[in-house]
Amino acid sequence: MLREGQIRIPSGCAISGMINKSGKRISGEAIIKSISVMHDRSNGLGGGFAAYGIYPEYKNYYALHIFYDSVLVKKECEEFLERHFDIINLSKIPTRKIKEITDEPLIWRYFVTPLQTKLASSQLDEREFVTKCVFRVNTEIKGSYVFSSGKNMGVFKAVGFPEDVGRFYKLEEYEGWCFTAHGRYPTNTPGWWGGAHPFALLDYSVVHNGEISSYDANRRAIEMYDYKCTLLTDTEVITYIIDYLHRKKGLTLNEVASVIAAPFWKTIENMKPEERDTHEYLRMMFSAQLINGPFSILVGFEGGVMALNDRLKLRSMVVGEKDDTVYIASEEAAIRIIEPNLDNIWAPKGGQPVIVCLNGGDA
């Protein structure tokens, strides 16, 4: 059986997310409850969570979450990390033995900061340096896989149903201001934890429901800019596109949404001149980053979360609000289970981004 990355595996899925705009931290209990309602949208072959604001005591350090196939590989990888980073703290990620989750790899967490001398000689900015190191581990150190690399955030994922994955990682013991969750329904047996979602790079994390038809066009385009698609999943390439447009090209998240779920030319023609010029420009300039086919995604980032549907809205997604908290999920039931008394609830149109930032923040 080929492992994820050697073969491309499309998936259907469930996604859910919640964010408290005033930055109040809540336990991971709620997000587990939310995603568990959509049990039938997953098939037990992958589940995971991204949690923001969970490491306040280490908020200035990159939190690397790594899967290892063996102790030997761990040693090799740690030697690499020591050559490039100052490791402030390292530990096993706490897990709970449950019968639903088996065959776990070694799962370790490192809080690191780039070695100043290495960073200076690389002539890269700090985030690019970290990205390059993550790619090197994932492509060159066989059997080790960095699946989370942001600051004050972390990804927790495994092969299993998402509610079991949550219990496995003791997610209820973490407190954060934003969570996203993913239940996977792959059409093939991946059998590897790295292939579960969310997919993350630096602070960007993506959970995604859909199967994009533009995959190879997007992959071949993004690989020109030093990204390496090792998993061959839609979520991976979407994450890289967002990183490329937002971090490297300096587009705002609204502009990013206008690229990946671009308005139709007919719509653009009828816009006001200034708006029309911008949209025309973005479509011409970043035509290879248009994402086609059905998707609903939740993009977690440093100061918030963005929800976005493909431009035809071929996947369900609803948004609910209650006071300072915004909920987004594939199904309304997944929101109602944790907040029955919503102030309002609506379904965003295809291609219309919903960007929720921490108060005072900017996308």
Partner 1 sequence: MAVNFLYPDYEVARNYDRCISCRACERQCANEVHEYLEDSNKMVCDDAKCVNCHRCVSLCPTRALKIVKSNNTYKENQNWTGKTINELYRQANSGGVLLSSMGNPENYPVYFDKILINASQVTNPSIDPLREPMETKVFLGAKPQDIERNEKGQIVNNLPPQISLSMPIMFSAMSYGSISYNAHESLARAAEKLGILYNTGEGGLHEDFYRYGKNTIVQVASGRFGVHPEYLNSGVAVEIKIGQGAKPGIGGHLPGAKIVGDISRTRMIPERSDAISPAPHHDIYSIEDLRQLVFSLKEATDYKKPVIVKIAAVHNVAAIASGIARSGADIIAIDGFRGGTGAAPTRIRDHVGIPIELALAGVDKRLRDEGIRGNVSLVIGGSIRSSADIVKAVALGADCVYIATSALLALGCHLCRSCHGGKCNWGIATQVPELVKRLNPDIGYKRLVNLLTAWQHEIMEMMGGMGINSIESLRGNRLMLRGVGLNEKELEILGIKHAGEGL
Window 198 to 237, contacts with partner 1 (CB under 8 A): 210-211, 213-218, 220-221, 223-225, 232
Integer CA distances (angstroms), 136 to 79, 85, 266, 280, in order: 13, 14, 43, 37
Residue 25 near residue 175 (C-beta atoms within 8 A): yes
Q: Which residues contact 329 (CB under 8 A, 6 or more apart)?
A: 14, 15, 16, 17, 34, 38, 317, 318, 320, 335
Active-site residue among 13, 77, 133, 178? 13
Which CB, 163 or 234, lies closer to partner 1? 234
**Is residue 15 at the binding interface for partner 1, with CB under 8 A as the rule?**
no
Rounded CA separation 309/311 (Å): 6
133 is catalytic: no
Q: Write each residue from 123 to 162 as x if it is in contact with partner 1 (CB under 8 A), else as -, in one continuous string.
A: ----------------------------------------
Window 267 to 306, contacts with partner 1 (CB under 8 A): 274, 277-278, 281-282, 284-285, 287-288, 290-294
Strands 318-322 and 325-329: antiparallel
Window 303 to 332, contacts with partner 1 (CB under 8 A): 311-312, 314
Residue 2 near residue 201 (C-beta atoms within 8 A): no
Rounded CA separation 193/147 (Å): 9
Which CB, 16 or 233, lies closer to partner 1? 233
**How far is it between the farthest Cα atoms of the chain?**
61
Q: Give the shortest CB-265-to-partner 1 separation in angstroms.
A: 5
Which CB, 60 or 287, lies closer to partner 1? 287
Q: Write each residue from 165 to 204 as x if it is in contact with partner 1 (CB under 8 A), else as -, in one continuous string.
A: ----------------------x-----------------
- Name the residue among 275, 18, 60 with its Cα closest to residue 151: 60
Q: Which residues contact 208 (CB under 8 A, 6 or more apart)?
A: 13, 15, 182, 197, 199, 234, 235, 238, 295, 296, 297, 298
Q: Give the shortest CB-119-to-partner 1 separation in angstroms.
A: 23
Single residue of 203, 236, 243, 255 touching partner 1 by CB under 8 A: 255
Which CB, 217 or 354, lies closer to partner 1? 217
Q: Residues with catalytic annotation?
A: 13
Binding site for partner 1 (CB under 8 A): 7-10, 12, 187, 210-211, 213-218, 220-221, 223-225, 232, 249-251, 255, 262, 264-266, 274, 277-278, 281-282, 284-285, 287-288, 290-294, 311-312, 314
